[in-house]
Each structure stands twice: as C-alpha cells, then as structure tokens.
Amino acid sequence: MILSILLSGIISFGGVEYDPDIHELMGEVNSDTLWANLASLSGEVSVTIEGEPDSLPCRFALSEGSDRAALWLAEQFEARGFTVELVPFFPHWLSETRPLPLGVENAEALEAIYINAQSSIGSDTMYNVVATLPGKDSLQVILCAHYDAITSTMWTYTPGADDNASGVMGVLEAARIMGEHNWQHTLRFVLFSGEELGLWGSEAYVKDAVEAGDSMIAALNMDMIAYNSDALPDMDIHCNPYDQASQDMGQMLIELIDIYELDIVPDRHIFDATDRSDHYWFWQYNIPAALLIEDFDDFNPFFHTTNDRLGRLDSAYMREAVRLALGWAASEAGLVEEPGIEERIVDSQNLVSFRLSADVIRYGAWLEIRSPHAITPAIYDAAGRRVKTLETIQGSLGSVRIPLEVSDLPRGVYWITVSGKESLVSERFVLVR
Ligand SMILES: [Zn+2]
C-alpha cells in the first residue's frame, strides 16, 4: 500500500516544465480588462448590445436578462475574433437525480420555480455560450464557467459579481490572450447557463459533446474566484475522488503555481471535493476536470445575495487565479510556434541561428542564439540608428538564451540584428507598453 502511494507520487511529480512563452502570456492577464468587464456583466455600468445601450442587472437563467447577457458575452468573444455559438437547451430536470441548487429543498420546489418561470416568460429556452479556437488537431481543452446568477430577487436583480461573473471574466480574458496564438489542441471556452438551477447547462453541454464524439482532454471550471477578505492568497482546487486523471490535473495546477511563482496558496480537495458546480457533469462522463474556487474557509458571505457586488472583490487575487487558468490551458493545449517567431537561420554554413520569443514585446522577451563563434546582437530603431548593443555571446555548441532587455527604450518599431561570419539577418519587432 505504502509502496503504491510512493510510486504514484513519483510518477505524477514534476510533470510540467517552465515555458517562457507561456509565462509571457500569463503576464498579459490584465486586471483593468477583468475589472471593466466584471462591472459590465454584474450590472454596475451600462453596456452595448447589438449596437444599443443596455444594462445587465439580472442574469437569472430563466429571465429575459440572461438571454441579453448571453448576447453580450457572444459579442465579447466576437470582438476578440472568435466564432461563437449560442447553443439553446431545455431543462430536463425530471429525467434523473442531480445535485439540487443550493437553497432549493427538493425536486418539487425546483418544479415550482420552473413552472413559475414558464408562466412568467412563456419560454424555457436557455443558452450556453460556446467559443472555439481550432487547434492543429481536434482534441479539446476546455475552460468553463457559468454566467447565470441567483438571488431572492431573481427576476429583477442578480449582480452575481463573484458568483460567477468572476469565473466568466477568467474565461473571457484567457480567450482574449490565447486567441492571438496557435495551439496544438483545440480550445473551447464555454459559458454555461442554468447552473444555479441544478447544473442544467453543463449537463446539456457535456451530454451533447459526448454524443457528438468530441474528444475532451480536460476541463477547468472557474466558479467564484474573486472574494478574498483575509488577504491570504488561499485557493481551493477540487478534484474527482474517483478519477486519478482529475487528481493529476489538480497536481499540475499546484506545480504551475510553483513554477510560475503565482501568488496563490493552493489547497487540493479530493475526498471532500464539492460536486456543486459544472465540473460535476464532466466527472459524470469520466472526463478529467477540476474546479478552481476561492478559499472555502474564507467564503463569500454575500453569495446569492444582492450584495454580491464588484466593490467587495479583490482584483489582484482574481488576476492570479486567471493567470493560473490560462497557464493550465496553455500548457495542456501546447503552443505552436508561429511563423513570425520561427527560428531564422542566419548563416547556414556556420550554423548560426536565432529566435526572438515574440514580435510584439510588452514586458521584455528573450533571444535564443546558436552559434559556434562569438557574435554581438544589436538593436536599431526604425530610422536605422543603432540604439543598443547587446553583450557579446561566446560561441557554443548548444543554444544560449539571453533576455532581451528593452525597458529603457521608448515604444516603437525596432530591428534586431544578429551577424554570422558571412551574413547579417535582422528581425523587426514592435515594443508596446
Ligand atoms: Zn456559482
């Protein structure tokens, strides 16, 4: 028994390697973008939907407001260049047992809510918002969150800033950043409705996806990632107690926190894991999935009330959670080198080559150089003036990675040159701040 525990510990240890490209993407997670979108979805500020001014005070799944929220979310994905689908589904709550929504005592109480909803709006259609970023293959990595919300005033006001506009913003922000790159596997960014009524949207989604033959590698569900009253960066990761792959995923998240030095203290839950959110339906179909959620020991007391508002949330805490989710999705999906940053052979005869980590540089970049003899890279501005000479790099058989320190340069267009024995090749990059 002890031996097998030791072995499984060894096997799952150290599975993730540091990748500077992924680190750079994680650095692009922007608190201001997160915050502004959070204010929009939780009804704090007005929004534009289909070109008209609007606002989103109510996201109760069966209300008209939630349909408008779905439209607004779809437009956010579209603005980021995604093809997005609003996939309608209908609750089939009588079909089988499922976890009841919090605060709903039994199936009869749920039925009453449902019948009331039908008579109030005359429709029971809800929508999942599904954005896809096709990869080189069709294996899918999924980031998901529910966008519906609930309060005692569910037909008029459900700000749900933490529960769960926060998780939705995590999905949107990861999509914004990942959408600018190419990936080995396909990425699915999925926003569910009907979660608060008993995980209806995720049930419909996962059932349909399994029936359609989708190959889902893993799913990370974010539900409430922004409340932190004690200033301790604790976060919970819930894994399927019956699935080793889900537990390995939890371990991977912990390693990512360590490798990328995120300000999160993780607590992995396995045998006391909660199934009260959309990861449940992935678990039901044996798809590795985990829930990322704020510390249960510092739980949001305004949960499911009209006080679950932006002003009570912690933007830095939320940013770290989103960085983790993005780092996980990027590590799983596999960044594919883009044409713009492919290795350039400068001097094939002498095997000199270099690679710039990005052609749009925001926080610095690195240069990977392979050269058997000493070379001196230099940076020129758009007018052709040499503005910087980098340190001479001694020749070596392997590759040498050096940081490209550009923080002293103003923003603009530059060229970096690396000269071989008989040739000189330059590459353009844009420095933004
Ligand atoms: Zn929730």
Q: What is the CATH number of domain 339-431?
A: 2.60.40.1930
Residue 120: predicted pLDDT:
56
**What pLDDT, on the 0 to 100 scale, is given for residue 7?**
34
Count CA within 13 A, CB hemisphere, residue 362: 10
**AA letter at 348:** S
CA 301 to ligand 1 centroid distance, Å: 13
Q: 26-29, long-range: CB within 8 Å, 24+ apart, which pairs?
A: 26/260, 26/323, 26/326, 26/327, 26/330, 27/323, 27/362, 27/363, 28/177, 28/362, 29/173, 29/174, 29/177, 29/319, 29/322, 29/323, 29/326
Quote the ligand 1 centre to 167 CA distance (angstroms).
Answer: 9
User: If one looks up domain 14-336 in CATH, what number appears?
Assistant: 3.40.630.10
Q: What is the pLDDT of residue 152?
A: 87
Ramachandran area for residue 231 (φ above 0: left; ψ -120 to 50: alpha; else beta) = left
114 Cα to the center of ligand 1, angstroms: 19
**How close is the Cα of 373 to the center of ligand 1, in Å?**
58
How distant is the alpha carbon of residue 412 from its chain centre? Answer: 30
* Residue 103: per-residue pLDDT: 61
Separation CA 130–CA 242 (nearest Å): 28
Q: Give the closest residue to 400 by CA, choosing from 392, 409, 411.
A: 392
Residue ranges of domains in the chain: 14-336, 339-431
Place of tokens 């995604």: 82
Ligand 1 mean position, distance from CA 113 (Å): 18
Q: What is the pLDDT of residue 433?
A: 60
Cα-to-centroid distance, 204 and ligand 1 (Å): 17
**pLDDT mean by block of 10 residues, the chain; 433 residues:** 32 66 94 94 96 95 91 93 88 54 68 65 77 92 97 91 97 95 94 91 93 94 95 94 94 96 96 93 94 92 93 95 98 77 55 72 75 82 84 79 82 80 72 70
Q: How far is the CA of 188 from the centre of ligand 1 (A)?
A: 20
Q: Do 14-336 and 339-431 come out as alike in CATH topology?
A: no
CA of 100 to the centre of ligand 1 (A): 13
Parallel, antiparallel, or unpaired: how do β-strands 140-146 and 186-192 relate?
Answer: parallel
Give me the pLDDT at residue 72, please.
96
Asked if 321 contacts 34 with a C-beta cutoff of 8 angstroms, the reply is no
Which residues sit opposite 408 in a β-bridge? none
Q: Output the CA 245–ligand 1 centroid distance in Å.
A: 24
Going by C-beta distance under 8 Å and a sequence separation of 6 or more, which residues neighbour residue 129?
70, 73, 74, 77, 84, 85, 86, 87, 147, 190, 191
CA of 421 to the centre of ligand 1 (A): 61
Report pLDDT for 100.
62
